[in-house]
Amino acid sequence: MAIPRFDEVEKFGVSRESLERLFALEKLLLTWQAHINLISSATIPNLWSRHIVDSLQILPLIPKNTKAIADLGSGGGFPGLVLAATQEAEVHFYESNTKKTAFLQEALRHMKIKGSVHRQRLESMQAPPNMPDVQVVTARAFAPMPLLLCLAEPFMRRGAKAVFHKGQECHNELAEAAKSWKIAYDMHPSVTDSQSVILEIKEIAHV
């Protein structure tokens, strides 16, 4: 596996201390990957570009005064664990799979970073119980836009903005979502995949 140069991540404002946490994440993830499918096996040789740098690229879109982030459908921890490793904001991880929540909890302990893991299906509830006050909602490869907006809406209703990784179907998903939602957003090209974008959603409202 290619080892990243520091200058490849330094442009995202990553400190050397944070980089050490990311190396710890890499090591732990590869250990757990042998027993549970946290990421696609085909992406392991390019773990840094496909997952870590892909997560780092949203850091410029996280407001500097952010105190808490909600990461929906956290899975193997991207982008949530990367965000928690590189800044002060507390990350709330929402994941329904028991094995994956166990990995997330161990990753937080192993990387010595703060965060909260919530094992629950967001689709089954109108709003998460004891919903934290977050300023940013993230999601990566989790759900189509119409459903994703429904899941993010309880947080956004309280002032949070959303930053989503989306693939080449983003325009079609936005068109479908526009049937039910008025969406104020900016679209940023992905630095890791020419077919993907980072969708920064500032406001949503039911049509």
Q: Which CATH number is 6-206 given?
A: 3.40.50.150
Q: Are 168 and 156 in contact (CB under 8 A)?
A: no
Which residues are CB-neighbours of 96 under 8 A, at least 6 positions away? Answer: 119, 120, 121, 122
Domain boundaries, the chain: 6-206
Residue 60 in tokens: 């410029």
pLDDT tens string 147-204: 999 999 999 999 999 999 999 999 999 999 999 999 999 999 999 999 999 999 999 9
Rounded to an integer, the average pLDDT of 134-150 is: 95
Q: Are 165 and 110 in contact (CB under 8 A)?
A: no
pLDDT tens string 76-124: 999 999 999 999 999 999 999 999 999 999 999 999 998 999 998 776 6
On whether the pTM is more than 0.85, the answer is: yes
End-to-end Cα separation, the chain, in angstroms: 48
Q: Are 58 and 138 in contact (CB under 8 A)?
A: yes
